[in-house]
Chains A and B, each alone.
Chain A
């Protein structure tokens, strides 16, 4: 057993966590000599991000030399070089933004407009199809507070929050006592639909295992049953029809139902079609009971990026400024499609790691073009970057605004000082904007 941390001289309460879309805002940091020595209330992953690996922290700006090695340099040199590369490129892509503040994102949008770039974020490879579906037909919204206070039936489809949003069940949905759910877990029915017996399935009342890539079939079958029609097959997508009938019965009789879905729905073969039919299923269910749905957003501010970009340009992600005005076309102005077509000639990742996220085939194009990284730690993408600009951690060393997965904005505090030679994303992007602007003005005069 680990002993509790007692050796600290200051407690900072009600901090906001900067890991996932839960944005838990009840975290306590334990400080000693202006260093974080402990964290209370955070989950395993959130805590790991707050007490980070100082060994691999990026501390100084770096530029690749002729031998192919990264070499430390001054901020002025690194920023001038980045601005020049960005300004001279014809199809630049600015990707990332999921783990930075809305303030930095707004600066990023200005740079994209000035330089005629494509600006895109992680939702392009996660819940992009979900957002398209939401923009097209809308969806019954809810806040996590409503789920906590009202929901008696909770369904997780193709997501495993016990692993990637560890406090989701304990803080918002399943376990807490709510105003109308005085007995917490005992007042709620939790059902997980997943091809795997995930950790979430283990704490659910029921686990429904379906075949991979057959989700579209499954959701349509559920709609069919809900409409009162009989299905002649014995099983759909590997699930006995009897079990589906039982599920629909539980859903129809819910007092307040909440459906959460994850990448298991948006990344399989049917992609956005899966989300379309899920929205329709929830709409149909609203004839019988009150139901709403939410995507499980990954990074703590992907939702914030979508909201900020929609309010500035009208489109949620993958916005192309190359013609001077915003354009958005799924499959055309989105990062992976651009990379697969070998189009970009400059790539900047801001608080994101394409080395961890992108398919190998798409990454191959990054070896042909200049690449820039703005991040806090060494990662796979650093191994592909020509210029590295060290930034700070939002919610720990920099303050900022972030949007929770249910679109609730939260303020994130600054708790400790940043490493000496690192700068916040907002500062880096402001400096970059100035330099690109100077280059542009110089050419026009």
Chain B
């Protein structure tokens, strides 16, 4: 289905982000979510907590689905701002410094793939340090200083 992506703050996402628990499952549950109009969900026979793959010109990401509290807005999905939304939004600034965070055309399909945790997502998407994704979890991994 073709939709328009809208991103922004949601109070629950901001709650976990400001608390500083971004690596944990609670942040994934609140932020890696596409809020859809109930009518759109019916059209695709989706239930809350089903998973969809969102594809744009800039990338693709797997997200949970939930009923929008702010409907009606058929043809629009709302993704709280965060690492998941970042992958599919447009970096195009049209030379006025602000990337296009809102109003990006996308297509969505139902999927069974997993929604990744932040550390897995960052390593899979950007792959800066080639860490093995199996070891990554919601607890930070680092080496303590030897005394």
Q: Which residues of A contact B (CB under 8 A)?
A: 19, 44-46, 48-49, 51-53, 55-57, 60, 62, 64-65, 68-73, 124-126, 128-129, 132, 160, 162-164, 166, 195-199, 201, 209, 212-213, 263-264, 266-269, 271-272, 318, 330-331, 334-337, 340, 353, 355-364, 366-367, 376-380, 382-384
Contact = CB atoms under 8 A, between A and B. Distances in A.
B126 A384 contact: yes
Contacts of B14: 45, 163-164
A44 B15 contact: yes
Given A163-B9, A367-B128, A267 B98 contact: yes
Nearest to A123: B97
Interface string B88-100: 1111011111111
Contacts of A331: 93, 95-97
24 contacts: A49-B18, A55-B21, A56-B22, A56-B23, A68-B129, A70-B141, A73-B145, A124-B98, A125-B97, A126-B98, A163-B10, A263-B101, A267-B99, A268-B100, A268-B103, A269-B103, A330-B97, A340-B93, A360-B89, A362-B91, A362-B99, A366-B128, A378-B23, A379-B23
A360 B125 contact: yes
Given A72-B142, A359-B90, A383 B73 contact: no
B97 A196 contact: no
B136 to A, nearest CB: 9
B128 A160 contact: no
B97 A334 contact: yes
Contacts of A198: 70
Interface in B101-134: 101-103, 118-119, 121-123, 125-131
B76 to A, nearest CB: 7
A358 B87 CA distance: 9
Interface residues on B, range: 35 or more
Interface in B15-35: 15-24
A162 B14 CA distance: 12
B98 to A, nearest CB: 6
A272 B96 contact: yes
Contacts of B20: 49, 52-53, 56-57, 376-379
Contact of B103 (A44, A55, A212, A335): A212
Nearest to B99: A359
Given A163-B11, A212-B6, 15 more contacts: A46-B18, A49-B18, A49-B19, A56-B140, A69-B142, A70-B142, A72-B143, A163-B9, A195-B76, A196-B6, A271-B96, A337-B97, A367-B128, A378-B20, A380-B83
A331 B93 CA distance: 8
B9 A164 contact: yes
Given A69-B143, A196-B73, A268-B102, A124 B21 contact: no
Given A195-B73, A336-B98, A360-B125, A264 B93 contact: no
Overall SS of chain B's interface: loop
Best-surrounded residue of A52, A361, A367 (most CB of chain B within 10 A): A361
A359 B81 contact: no
B143 A65 contact: yes
B73 to A, nearest CB: 6
Contacts of B17: 356
A378 B17 CA distance: 11
B78 interface: yes
A110 to B, nearest CB: 24
Best-surrounded residue of A51, A126, A263 (most CB of chain B within 10 A): A263
A68 B141 CA distance: 11
B18 A45 contact: yes
B122 A383 contact: yes
A378 B11 CA distance: 20
B21 A53 contact: yes
B18 A19 contact: yes
B99 A363 contact: no
Contacts of B103: 212-213, 268-269
Contacts of B24: 56
Nearest to B97: A334
A10 B99 CA distance: 46
Nearest to B120: A383
B144 interface: yes
Given A45-B14, A69-B143, A363-B86, A271 B94 contact: yes
A340 B144 CA distance: 35
A200 to B, nearest CB: 10
Contacts of B97: 124-125, 128-129, 318, 330-331, 334-337
Interface in B31-48: none
B130 A358 contact: no
A272 to B, nearest CB: 5
A53 B73 contact: no
Contacts of B9: 160, 163-164
